[in-house]
């Protein structure tokens, strides 16, 4: 076995709502707001598509994902040959790490970001070099100072998970001009939720900087988390090489068809984004707003000294959040859910005061 595997933790998704109800003897219904899922669900067109697609589940899926790639190609105006499909972004991150990283290489990323970047660097026997966040976002100037001739891959999460803040197009462009030709991954899993006008247009920057790799997913705003489908957009040449580490039939027929239907229904997506932004604004108008990091996502990061204490308080009120170092990450719920949550958080911070 690789000796470095012993240093890794197995991913823990947290307890289910049923387990928490049993352990804490909670009778009321739990609100599961710990995984940044789309609380409104996917487009109604997805269900219709799945009903038709299920007739052929005895057959292997299209290994190339041709129809979905072409749909993504038309939507973003990129060559379909530049699209790599994966079973969620987790698998895409795994494929990129496997294809690019060699033992002794270094990756550069932030101290508090999506753990899969460092997880796969460890598996590939690489060194992880980090810089701290600034106000919950990647500090690109600090990261630039960490890039050396040993850097094989730079991971940027924008907006960042678990904090929710983002860096601008001006900041990103300045970084890309200085970083050289090292591959730079832009993980934009929450991009669809962003309403800030100065958020980077990464597809436009792709024409200027050939070393960027753009990651998107259907798990978040498109509401297909359980179907596990994400993708990368990069150069045709790099994508061709990455297909050589891709498992055959890695994305199911149901996932391919559902993603195609979800992408086609942009009117539904716009309604979801608008509703999320409206509900997000309520948190930043609350009495506890000073405890929140800025967010352009479908979650908020609540800064507290004792994350476990706040998490336990929320659990006993029927709210499942995600405690992380420095605070608690909480998915923005529906309007009715947020009515309850905001009242509960007001109560908590009044008691703390």
Helix (H) or strand (E) holding 213: strand 212-217
Cα–Cα distance measured from residue 210 to residue 180, given in angstroms and rounded to the nearest whole number: 10
- Residue 129 backbone phi and psi in degrees, to 5: -115, 130
Q: What pLDDT was estimated at residue 29?
A: 79
Band of pLDDT at residue 86, cut at 50, 70 and 90: very high
Write down the domain spans for the chain. 3-41+267-348, 44-265
CA 152 to chain CA centroid, Å, is 22
pLDDT at 353: 67
Mean pLDDT along residues 241-259: 96
Residues 6+ apart with CB under 8 A from 212: 176, 183, 184, 185, 186, 202, 205, 206, 234
* Mean pLDDT for the stretch of residues 161-183: 98
**In the chain, pLDDT over 70 holds for what percent of residues?**
98
DSSP-assigned states of every residue in 247-276: PTT-S-HHHHHHHHHHHH-HHHHHHHHHHH
| Residues 105 and 124: beta-carbon distance below 8 Å | yes
In the sheet that holds 212-217, the strands lie side by side as 83-86, 230-233, 212-217, 184-187, 151-157, 106-110, 127-131
The H or E element that residue 174 is part of is helix 169-179
pLDDT category at 27 given cuts 50, 70, 90 is low
pLDDT tens, residue by residue, 175-207? 999 999 999 999 999 999 999 999 999 999 999
pLDDT tens for 261-287 read 999 999 999 999 999 999 999 999 999
- Write the DSSP symbol of residue 62: -
Place of tokens 């823990």: 12
Provide the pLDDT for residue 34: 94
Give yes or no for a contact between 97 and 118, defined as CB atoms under 8 angstroms apart. Answer: no
Query: What is the dihedral sign for C-alpha 147, 152, 158, 161?
Result: negative
CATH fold label, 3-41+267-348: 3.90.1150
Average pLDDT over residues 58-72: 97
Give the pLDDT confidence score for residue 28 in this predicted structure. Answer: 72
| Rounded mean pLDDT, 233-256 | 95
- Percent of the chain residues topping a pLDDT of 90: 90
Angle at 264 (CA atoms; ends 85, 222), nearest 5 degrees: 65
Q: What is the distance between the alpha carbons of residues 268 and 213, in angstroms, rounded to a whole number?
A: 27
Q: What is the pLDDT of residue 319?
A: 96
Residue 240 pLDDT grade (very low, low, confident, very high; cuts 50, 70, 90): very high
Examine the pLDDT at 14 and tell me if it is beyond 80.
no
* pLDDT tier at 351, thresholds 50, 70, 90: confident
Compute the distance between CA of residue 317 and CA of residue 30 in angstroms, rounded to an integer: 8
Higher pLDDT, 353 or 321: 321
Which 3 state secondary structure label does DSSP give 13?
A: coil
Res 12: pLDDT:
72
Is residue 49 very low, low, confident or very high in pLDDT (cuts 50, 70, 90)?
very high
**Cα 63 versus chain centre, distance:** 24
Q: Model confidence at 11, in pLDDT bands (50, 70, 90)?
A: confident
Residue 133: closest CA among 154, 115, 107, 109: 109
| Confidence at residue 124, expressed as pLDDT on a 0 to 100 scale | 97
Model pLDDT, residue 10: 82
pLDDT tens by residue, 135-162: 999 999 999 999 999 999 999 999 999 9
pLDDT band of residue 15 (cuts 50, 70, 90) is low
Residue range 44-265 in CATH 3.40.640.10: yes
CA dihedral 77, 81, 85, 90 (to 10 degrees): -90
What local confidence, expressed as pLDDT, does residue 55 receive? 92
Q: What is the pTM of this model?
A: 0.95
Q: What is the mean pLDDT of residues 228-247?
A: 95
């Amino acid at each position: 076995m690789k000796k470095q595997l012993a240093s890794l933790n197995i991913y823990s998704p947290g307890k289910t709502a049923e387990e928490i109800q049993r352990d804490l003897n909670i009778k009321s219904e739990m609100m599961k707001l710990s995984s940044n899922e789309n609380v409104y669900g996917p487009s109604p067109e997805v269900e219709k598509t799945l009903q038709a697609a299920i007739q052929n589940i005895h057959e292997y899926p299209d290994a190339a994902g041709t129809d979905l790639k072409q749909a993504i190609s038309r939507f973003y105006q990129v060559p379909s040959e530049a699209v790599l499909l994966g079973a969620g972004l987790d698998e895409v991150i795994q494929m990129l790490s496997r294809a690019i990283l060699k033992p002794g290489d270094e990756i550069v990323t932030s101290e508090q970001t999506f753990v899969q970047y460092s997880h796969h660097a460890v598996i590939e026997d690489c060194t992880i070099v980090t810089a701290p966040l600034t106000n919950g976002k990647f500090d690109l100037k600090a990261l630039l100072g960490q890039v050396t001739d040993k850097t094989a891959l730079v991971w940027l999460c924008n907006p960042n998970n678990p904090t929710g803040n983002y860096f601008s197009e001006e900041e990103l462009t300045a970084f890309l001009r200085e970083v050289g030709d090292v591959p730079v991954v832009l993980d934009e899993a929450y991009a669809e939720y962003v309403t800030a006008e100065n958020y980077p247009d990464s597809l436009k920057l792709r024409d200027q900087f050939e070393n960027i790799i753009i990651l998107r997913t259907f798990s978040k705003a498109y509401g297909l988390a359980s179907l596990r489908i994400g993708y990368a957009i990069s150069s045709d040449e790099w994508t061709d090489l990455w297909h050589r580490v891709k498992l055959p039939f890695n994305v199911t027929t149901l996932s391919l068809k559902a993603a195609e239907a979800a992408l086609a229904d942009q009117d539904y997506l716009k309604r979801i984004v608008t509703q999320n932004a409206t509900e997000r604004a309520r948190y930043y108008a609350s009495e506890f707003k000073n405890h929140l990091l800025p967010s352009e996502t479908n979650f908020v990061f609540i800064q507290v000294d004792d994350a476990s204490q706040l998490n336990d308080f929320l659990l006993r009120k029927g709210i499942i959040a995600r405690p992380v170092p420095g605070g608690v990450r909480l998915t923005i719920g529906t309007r009715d859910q947020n009515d309850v949550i905001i009242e509960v958080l007001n109560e908590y911070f009044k008691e703390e005061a």
